[in-house]
Amino acid sequence: MQDALLRFARNRLALLGAVVLLLVLTMAAAAPVLYPAGAFALAGPPLQPPGGRFLLGTDTLGRDVAAGIVYGARTSLMIGVVATLAAVVLGVLIGAVAGYYRGKPDLALMRITELFQTIPSFILAILLVAILSPSADSEIAAITLVSWPGIARLARGEFASLGGREFVLACVGLGAGDGRIVFRHLLPNCASPLIAVGSLLVANVILFESGLSFLGLGDPNLMSWGLMISAGREVLRSAWWICTFPGLAIVATVLAINLIGDGLNEALNPRLRDR
């Protein structure tokens, strides 16, 4: 594990990603200190350009864009992390059962997984949020439900290939139960690819969330980058800053997480080492 960290630290792009993500995290954590009034407060006259009293200008209602960015970071990261964790847990659970037991459970679970993969995921997410009524919880639920199949397939492959190894057989011979084999032996051995893919999933989930809020399906009580872009799109030509800054925030965050994910993948994947 220490080797992996060292290899990660040697990857400059991944390190850059980590620094950017750290900035976004600090911003999100410091939001109440920086803007105690919140993201929805009317801070001044509408459509103020960047610079001057407002660092990033104000929107059509006179809300501070910078405050929106900072509070939007909280929403994006919160939903990104929670939905990814939920998707990974669900995906690993399903993939583990399918890959470890094989046979009929495998057949059934993989057909279900394929069913989910054939439906365009964003449309399914929109549908789910629309049915559940827009809120942070329903966003998380919807994104989780469309994100797990990839993880499940990966986990199934890893569990299936590890399941035939001699150390697992040795463990069966010692009298170990399924739970012990799965959680003590198999899961730690496929943690590396799961961490790498899971970190990339966070970026995907953030994009999903922005898309949903852009369509007005986000939580109305939470400021979100997608919502800001949506609100500013009608005045894009006269007040470019309202859309541009949240857009840049999305790009920077997603790119940073992707770089970290790639870095982790390279650091943790033994086949890519020593290149």
List residues near another protein by CB under 8 A.
Answer: 165-167, 169-177, 180, 184-185, 188-189
Closest separation in Å from C-beta 169 to another protein: 6
Minimum gap (Å) between residue 180 Cβ and another protein: 7
The minimum distance between CB 194 and another protein, in angstroms, equals 13
Closer to another protein by CB, 123 or 170: give it: 170
Q: How many residues does the chain have?
A: 275
Which of 60/180 has CB closer to another protein?
Answer: 180
CB under 8 Å to 255, separation ≥6 — which residues? 17, 20, 203
Smaller CB distance to another protein: residue 26 or 161?
A: 161
User: Measured from the CB atom, is 60 or 185 closer to another protein?
Assistant: 185
Minimum gap (Å) between residue 179 Cβ and another protein: 11
Please identify, using beta-carbon distances, which residue of 52 and 173 lies nearer to another protein: 173
Specify which residues 63 forms β-bridges with: 42
Tokens of 211: 């898309």
Q: 131-152: buried (b, 16+ CB within 10 Å) or exposed (e) per residue?
A: eeebbbebbbbbbbbbbbbbbb
**Nearer Cβ to another protein (78/176):** 176
**Contact status, residue 69 vs residue 249, Cβ threshold 8 Å:** yes
Shortest gap between Cβ of 99 and another protein (angstroms)?
17
What gap in Å lies between CA 241 and CA 265, rounded to an integer? 36
List 42's β-bridge partners, or say none. Answer: 63
d(CA 37, CA 248): 24
> Residue 124 and residue 126: Cα distance in Å, rounded?
5
Encoded tokens for 83: 């939905």
Give least dist CB 171 to another protein, A. Answer: 7
Instruction: Closer to another protein by CB, 37 or 170: give it.
Output: 170
Which residue in this structure is represented by tokens 């001057």? Answer: 52
Taking the complex as a whole, the smallest distance from the CB of residue 92 to another protein amounts, in Å, to 16
Closest CA to 79 of 248, 205, 196: 205
